[in-house]
């Protein structure tokens, strides 16, 4: 029996914080405001603040912190920008919030290889700002200006995924600190490899439960020669969704194809001072050569017209385009502004595209029969859509009604061979759906977690139901 395991929890906890303070000095803090700030995300979840917050500045330091925490069995919850949505940051078993935001260095841009190596705390906007003179960009865009480490940890995607894929496809390798403090580089920088198990993809989407991502190498893309954006309104959502389905099925390489229902459009009009027709809307973006962009837009115009779409409104000027996408990015805040004081319970199902119209229709019917106000937005080119259900976190009845709608929506998505979460992750909030979605696969996930984090100190209580 080790000395550590004969300690009480309290004394072990104190010893851990003492060792961390010796390592980090004033980069360890236990003040209530700082703890509360790190126990907050952008969701409706009641988040439990951690016992302390550490600010790390290097992979080696994260490893040293992890070794201390392992010795004292102190849970560690990695923190990027706090923009997650499923209670990922909640210190369910106490422990340390490990803030990586000071690891914000772009280490190396390899323009010739179209990749970049960054520390985990670099945000997607900071990266693209850094890249502005290179002719390259990183496309993954979940809306929030999240950290790239956090985006990898939740397997984020967003508006550009229909063209460029998700974090799954765009991380070439990553450096992670494992539960025992060992530092692992998951792969080389080559574009492809068959050398053993795919540790990169195992860590992408693992939400801090298998290792702490400290550095990443990401794929970059050339800034397209031409970009055009526009919007088209439809009389009803069926027309909009069927236009999307046909667009995807015919292989048109749209860069973005986003759906907003009439409730969301109305909210955006108010929040972002727009004057869009209050009816179902598709926002689109095309990337390519000047000719290709025109060809794509014309082809899409024909498809939209065939499904009852109105005139395509172009946003050719950069500022108009930015205003349109800024409004889309602020959809959550616009929705929240509909009912001040309420929080957003956000669903995130993703279904095969052939089932998308059915999934949305049944969901709309369900919603209409409830008392919940909700907007609908979607990365519909992927079959992924969100409800933002406005709930009062203090109202048990409202939470219960929204949760029931959510349960029914996930049940519907699973029956259509879809998933409970396309891009937000499981965290604490969707843990109840894991058994239904994965069946026997859940045991495989548990075995992996047990093997790589036997003390269960890496973001415990997330992803896997106990």
242 is a site residue for a second copy (CB under 8 A):
no
Which residue from 156, 171, 304, 345 is in contact with a second copy, where contact means CB under 8 A? 156
Q: Which stretch binds a second copy (CB under 8 A): 20-28, 109-117, 309-317, 387-395?
A: 109-117
**CA proximity to 116, closest of 144, 61, 126:** 126
380 is a site residue for a second copy (CB under 8 A):
no
CA distance linking residue 149 with residue 70, whole number of Å: 22
Which residue from 250, 361, 397, 400 is in contact with a second copy, where contact means CB under 8 A? 250
Q: Which stretch binds a second copy (CB under 8 A): 125-133, 228-236, 398-406, 439-447?
A: 439-447
Plot region of 94 (φ>0 → left; ψ -120 to 50 → alpha; else → beta): left
41 vs 262, beta carbon nearer a second copy = 41
CA distance linking residue 238 with residue 403, whole number of Å: 26
120 vs 351, beta carbon nearer a second copy = 351
Residue list 282-301, contact with a second copy (CB under 8 A): 289, 291-292, 295
- Kindly determine how many residues on this chain lie close enough to bind a second copy according to the rule CB under 8 A: 91
In degrees, rounded to 5, the angle at the alpha carbon of residue 133 between the alpha carbons of residues 128 and 138 is 25
In angstroms, what is the minimal distance from the CB of 98 to a second copy?
A: 20
Residue list 159-218, contact with a second copy (CB under 8 A): 161, 165-166, 168-169, 178, 182-199, 201-202, 204-206, 210
Number of H helices, E strands in the chain: 18, 18
In angstroms, what is the minimal distance from the CB of 444 to a second copy?
A: 6
445 is a site residue for a second copy (CB under 8 A):
yes
CA distance linking residue 410 with residue 115, whole number of Å: 36
422 is a site residue for a second copy (CB under 8 A):
yes
172 vs 304, beta carbon nearer a second copy = 172
CA distance linking residue 156 with residue 159, whole number of Å: 10
133 is a site residue for a second copy (CB under 8 A):
no
192 vs 273, beta carbon nearer a second copy = 192
414 is a site residue for a second copy (CB under 8 A):
yes
397 is a site residue for a second copy (CB under 8 A):
no
From the centroid of its chain, how far is CA 270?
Answer: 26
112 is a site residue for a second copy (CB under 8 A):
yes
247 is a site residue for a second copy (CB under 8 A):
no
Instruction: Give SS3 for 372.
Output: coil
CA distance linking residue 10 with residue 256, whole number of Å: 51
Residue list 302-321, contact with a second copy (CB under 8 A): none
In angstroms, what is the minimal distance from the CB of 426 to a second copy?
A: 6
Cβ proximity of 243 and 357 under 8 Å: no
Ramachandran angles phi, psi of 350, nearest 5°: -140, 125
Residue list 75-94, contact with a second copy (CB under 8 A): none
CA distance linking residue 34 with residue 203, whole number of Å: 28
Plot region of 12 (φ>0 → left; ψ -120 to 50 → alpha; else → beta): alpha
CA distance linking residue 462 with residue 466, whole number of Å: 9
In degrees, rounded to 5, the angle at the alpha carbon of residue 331 between the alpha carbons of residues 392 and 409 is 60
Plot region of 89 (φ>0 → left; ψ -120 to 50 → alpha; else → beta): alpha
Burial of 204-216, coded b for 16+ CB within 10 Å and e otherwise, reads: bbbbbbbbbbbbb
Which residue from 305, 448, 455, 456 is in contact with a second copy, where contact means CB under 8 A? 448
In angstroms, what is the minimal distance from the CB of 124 to a second copy?
A: 17
Residue list 331-360, contact with a second copy (CB under 8 A): 348, 350-354
115 is a site residue for a second copy (CB under 8 A):
yes
In angstroms, what is the minimal distance from the CB of 440 to a second copy?
A: 5
12 vs 201, beta carbon nearer a second copy = 201
């Amino acid at each position: 029996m080790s000395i550590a395991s004969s300690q009480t929890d309290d004394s072990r906890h104190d010893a851990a914080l003492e060792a961390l303070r010796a390592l980090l000095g004033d980069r360890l803090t236990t003040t209530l405001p700082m703890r509360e700030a790190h126990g907050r995300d952008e969701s409706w979840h009641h988040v439990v603040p951690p016992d302390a917050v550490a600010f790390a500045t290097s992979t080696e330091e994260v490893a040293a912190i992890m070794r201390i925490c392992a010795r004292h069995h102190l849970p560690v919850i990695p923190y990027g920008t706090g923009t997650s949505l499923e209670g990922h940051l909640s210190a369910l078993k106490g422990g340390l919030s490990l803030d990586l935001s000071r690891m914000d260095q772009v280490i190396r841009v390899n323009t010739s290889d179209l990749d970049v190596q960054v520390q985990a705390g670099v945000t997607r906007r900071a990266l693209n700002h850094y890249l502005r003179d290179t002719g390259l960009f990183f496309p993954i865009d979940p809306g929030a200006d999240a950290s790239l480490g956090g985006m990898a940890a939740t397997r984020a995607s967003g508006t550009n995924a229909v063209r460029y894929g998700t974090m799954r496809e765009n991380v070439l390798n990553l450096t992670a600190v494992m539960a025992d403090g060992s530092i692992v580089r998951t792969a080389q920088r080559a574009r492809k490899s068959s050398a053993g198990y795919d540790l990169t993809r195992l860590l992408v989407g693992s939400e801090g439960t298998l290792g702490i991502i400290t550095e990443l190498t990401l794929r970059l893309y050339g800034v397209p020669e031409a970009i055009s954006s526009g919007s088209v309104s439809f009389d009803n959502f069926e027309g909009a969704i069927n236009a999307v389905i046909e667009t995807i099925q015919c292989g048109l390489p749209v860069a973005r194809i986003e759906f907003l229902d009439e409730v969301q459009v109305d909210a955006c009009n108010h929040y972002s001072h727009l004057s869009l027709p209050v009816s179902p809307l598709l926002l689109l973006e095309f990337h390519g050569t000047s000719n290709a962009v025109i060809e794509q837009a014309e082809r899409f115009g024909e498809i939209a017209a065939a499904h009852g779409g109105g005139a395509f409104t172009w946003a050719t000027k950069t500022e108009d385009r930015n205003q349109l996408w800024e409004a889309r990015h602020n959809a959550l805040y616009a929705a929240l502004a509909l009912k001040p004081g309420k929080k957003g319970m956000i669903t995130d199902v993703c279904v095969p595209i052939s089932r998308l119209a059915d999934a949305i229709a049944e969901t709309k019917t369900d919603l209409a029969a409830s008392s919940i106000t909700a907007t609908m937005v979607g990365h519909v080119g992927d079959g992924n859509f969100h409800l933002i259900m406005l709930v009062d976190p203090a109202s048990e009845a409202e939470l219960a009604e929204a949760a029931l709608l959510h349960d029914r929506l996930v049940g519907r998505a699973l029956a259509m061979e879809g998933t409970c979460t396309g891009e937000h992750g499981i965290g604490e909030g969707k843990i109840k759906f894991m058994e239904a979605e994965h069946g026997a696969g859940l045991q495989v996930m548990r075995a992996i977690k047990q093997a790589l984090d036997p003390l269960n100190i890496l973001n415990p209580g997330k992803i896997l139901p106990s």
